Amino acid sequence: MLARGLSPFSSKLSRSARPRHSSAHHPRASHTTMALNYPRPIELAPSAPHTSTFIMLHGLGDTGDGWSDIGYMYKTSLPGTKFIFPHAPRRPITLNFGMSMPGWYDIASLEDIQGGEDAAGLQESQRYVEELIQKEIAAGVPSSKIVVGGFSQGGAVALMMLRSNIQLGGVVALSAYVPLSKEQPLFSEANAKAPIFMCHGDADQTVAFAFGQRSFQLLSSIGANVEFQTYLGMGHSACQREFNDVLDFIKPILS
């Protein structure tokens, strides 16, 4: 099993500076508006005519580099697919005492992960991913051949994309949860039937397994086309079997 998630919501294989966190009470996320700088994403060009795109969003404190290896892992099976690994902008993170780091939105607590959510940050990240999608559409890729995936915080943003009016080919959420779950609708008419693949380790102590389960049950209860895969003994990380399962999910969509 690959050791990911060494810091809260991170997917980095290794990290020299681990963000601090504790079980002490944290103030609610600040939700402040700030100027955000988005570094140029990592892009892996297809080895055949470009017919589809997979966008993968990293976790808190990481960069697109943390997940770029899967592009090479999947490239042979998906020769016509372009892989995009965006970098989140740096922002203060309340959970880590205001330390500035790459993050798709602010978060205040792991215990109450859906309390005091940073709606503005989530909506801004949705806007940015839509911008990336529109560039792919302008390049001639049908939106139905675009899949958005993410790990942890990135997975939450991927699930936010179900609310987009751009029809997607599918959504992949690893070790994540549905954000802003009380703000209906959770998916747009365009994505009412979009296939969703959620994966979660039952030993996850960062984004609790129960959060993922409840999100799956919520989506199922409103008729979403969602599948949930459990990985026994896996913490806030990823494993080869999970990577294989993700490929099995996206290959029919992107081929």
pLDDT range class, residue 116, cuts 50, 70, 90? confident
Mean local confidence (pLDDT), 74-91: 98
pLDDT at 23 over 70: no
pLDDT range class, residue 112, cuts 50, 70, 90? confident
DSSP 26-87: -PPP---------PPPEEE--SSS--EEEEEE--TT--GGGGTHHHHHHTTT-TTEEEEE--
Catalytically annotated residue among 62, 236, 237, 245: 236
Residue 152 annotated in active site: yes
> CA–CA separation, 141 vs 53, rounded Å?
8
pLDDT at 24 over 70: no
Catalytically annotated residue among 204, 215, 237, 245: 204
pLDDT at 115: 76
pLDDT at 70 over 90: yes
Catalytically annotated residue among 152, 164, 175, 215: 152
Residue 25 annotated in active site: no
Residue 31 annotated in active site: no
SS3 state of residue 223: coil
Residue 11 · residue 152 · CB < 8 Å: yes
pLDDT range class, residue 177, cuts 50, 70, 90? very high
Mean local confidence (pLDDT), 25-48: 74
Mean local confidence (pLDDT), 6-10: 39
pTM of the model: 0.88
